[in-house]
Amino acid sequence: MTQSQSEKKDIPVNIYRPNNPFVGKCISNEVLVRPGAQGDTRHVKFDLSGGDLRYLEGQSIGIVPPGEDKNGKPHKLRLYSIASTRHGDDGDDKTISLSVKRLEYKHPETGETVLGVCSNHICDLKPGDEVKITGPVGKEMLLPDDPTATIIMIATGTGIAPFRAFLWRMFKETHPDYKFKGLAWLFFGVPTDSALLYKPDLEWLAYKHKKHFRLDKAISREQKNEKGEKMYIQNRMAEYADELWDLFQKPNTHTYMCGLRGMEDGIAEFMVSTAAKNGTEWKVFEKQMKSEGRWHVETY
C-alpha cells in the first residue's frame, strides 16, 4: 500500500491504552487442534459491545493478563494478531477473535515446566470471564484496497490469524463496497495435519472459490519434499517458484508473512535462489517491494 493510500484509510490505532484498557468478556473458547496435535491452540472470541474498540484486518490487540510479575509490577500486555474481520465472527461489529497457542516449555536450567503468563490466561478463559484489551495496533499487515490484487500469504501455526481475517472478508462476507476478484494464495506450514488450524473452513473456501483462492499446505512431519526430507513451507513454495516469481513482478501483488520468526530464514533462502535463477539479487528486489509497500512481515 502506498503512503497516500494509508493516509486515506481511516486506520484505528490505540483506542484503548494499557493504563485504561477496554474490559471485554469472553464469549467462547474453542479448541482448534485435533487429536494427535502437539500443544493446545484456541479460537477465543470476545464481546466488544459497550466500548469503542474497532479494528481492521491485519491489526493486533494487546491483552493484559491479571496479577503481578515476580517484581510485584502488573504484567505487561502481549500482542496478538486479530483472527476476525472488522465485523467480527458474528458479522455484527460487536466481537473480536484471536488464535492463541498455550505456551508451555521446560526451563533450560531447572527443567521445570514454565507456562506463558498471557497465553495460558487466554486459553483458560471461560464464557463470561472478563479480559483487558488494548489497541488496536499495526499498519504493516493491512490489505490493499484493490479488489483485483494478488494476495500471497505465508503462515506457520497461529500466524494464520490475520489471513483468516483476510479470507473471511474476501469470501465469507458480502460488502456493498468491496468484492474480491483477485487471487488469494495461502501457503500454510504446520507439523501435523491435526495441527492445521481452521482446516474445514479453509478447504471449503478453496473448493468453493477455485478461481480466486488457492491453498497449499506444508506438513513437515507427514510430507516429504523432492529430496525426501521434511516438507517445510519454503519447499512447498519452491514447487511453484516460476509462477510465484511472475506474480511478484506484478505491481498489485502483495506478499504477507506471519508466524514464528524462525520461518523467515527458510523463506529468505527460497527467495534468494528464485531471484538468482531470474538474474536478480533478492535483497535488492525485497527492498524494492518494501518501498512499494508490497512486502509485509509480522513474525514473533
Please tell me whether 57 is known to bind a ligand. no
Please tell me whether 243 is known to bind a ligand. no
Q: State the amino acid at position 240 in one-letter form.
A: Y
Sorted by sequence, the CB contacts under 8 Å of residue 97 that are 6+ apart come out as 43, 44, 45, 46, 82, 83, 84, 88, 89
What beta strand segments (E) does 163-250 contain? Answer: 183-190, 213-219
Which residues carry out catalysis?
80-81, 258, 298, 300
**pLDDT score for 36:** 87
SS3 state of residue 278: coil
Contact of 241 with 270, CB cutoff 8 Å: yes
Of residues 202, 179, 165, the one with CA closest to residue 55: 165
SS3 state of residue 80: strand
Tens of pLDDT along the chain (300 residues) come to 444 344 446 899 999 999 999 999 999 999 999 998 889 999 999 999 999 999 999 999 999 999 999 899 999 999 999 999 999 999 999 999 999 999 998 888 898 988 999 999 999 999 999 999 999 999 999 999 999 999 999 999 999 999 999 999 999 999 888 899 999 999 999 999 999 999 999 999 999 999 999 999 998 887 888 888 888 999 999 999 999 999 999 999 999 999 999 999 999 999 999 999 999 999 999 999 999 999 999 999
**pLDDT score for 15:** 97
**pLDDT score for 1:** 40
Backbone torsion region of residue 190, taken as left when φ is above 0, otherwise alpha when ψ lies between -120 and 50, otherwise beta: beta
Contact of 214 with 184, CB cutoff 8 Å: yes
Contact of 182 with 150, CB cutoff 8 Å: yes
Contact of 193 with 183, CB cutoff 8 Å: no
Give the Cβ contact number of residue 126 at 10 Å.
8
* Predicted TM-score (pTM) of this structure: 0.94
How far is the C-alpha of 110 from the C-alpha of 48, rounded, in Å?
A: 41
Contact of 199 with 164, CB cutoff 8 Å: no
List of domains in the chain? 3-137 (2.40.30.10), 150-299 (3.40.50.80)
Please tell me whether 173 is known to bind a ligand. no
Decide: residue 144, CB within 10 A, 0-12 exposed, 13-18 middle, 19+ buried. buried
Give residue 249's Cα distance to chain centre. Answer: 24
Please tell me whether 95 is known to bind a ligand. no
**pLDDT score for 287:** 95
Contact of 215 with 206, CB cutoff 8 Å: yes
How far is the C-alpha of 204 from the C-alpha of 167, rounded, in Å?
A: 12
Please tell me whether 101 is known to bind a ligand. yes
Please tell me whether 259 is known to bind a ligand. yes
